[in-house]
Structure 1
Amino acid sequence: MDMENLNQSVAWAVVFSGIFLWVGMLTGVWKYYQIRHSEQARAHYYVDIAHRSSLLYAPASLIIAVLAYFSVWSEGLNFIFVLINLFFFSFSILSYILHGWLKDTTNQFKQPHQMGRWHLPKWMLTSAMVLLVIGELGAAAGLLLGTIIRLGMF
Structure 2
Amino acid sequence: MSLAEKLCLSAAALFFITGLLTGVWKYACIARSPRAAAPRYVDIAHRSSLMYSFAALLLAWLARYSVYPDWLNTLAAASALSFFALAIGTYIIHGILRDTSNQLRKPHRLGTASLPGWLIHGFMVALIVAEIGGSLILSTGALTGIWNL
TM-score (ref. length: structure 1): 0.95
Q: Structure 2: how far apart are the matches of 1:126 and 1:58? A: 25
Q: Structure 2: how far apart are the matches of 1:119 and 1:93? A: 20
Which of 38, 59, 63 is matched with 1:64 structurally?
59
Report % sequence identity: 40
Q: Does 1:33 find its partner at 2:35?
A: no
Q: Which residue matches 1:48?
A: 43
Q: Structure 2: how far apart are the matches of 1:108 and 1:141? A: 27
Residues 48-84 of structure 1: per-residue CA shift (max 9 Å, x gap):
0000000000110000000000000111110001100
Which of 106, 113, 119 is matched with 2:114 structurally?
119
Shift, 1:152, TM fit: 2.5
Q: Could you tell me which runs of 5 or more consecutive residues in structure 1 were left unpaired when the two chains were aligned.
A: 1-5
RMSD: 0.8
Q: Structure 2: how far apart are the matches of 1:48 and 1:149? A: 38
Q: How many residues align?
A: 149
Q: Structure 1: how far apart are the matches of 2:148 and 2:85? A: 32
Q: Which residue matches 1:131?
A: 126
Over 6 Å off, 4+ runs: none
Q: Could you tell me which runs of 5 or more consecutive residues in structure 2 were left unpaired when the two chains were aligned.
A: none
Q: How does 1:67-86 map to 2 (within 5 A)?
A: 67-86=62-81
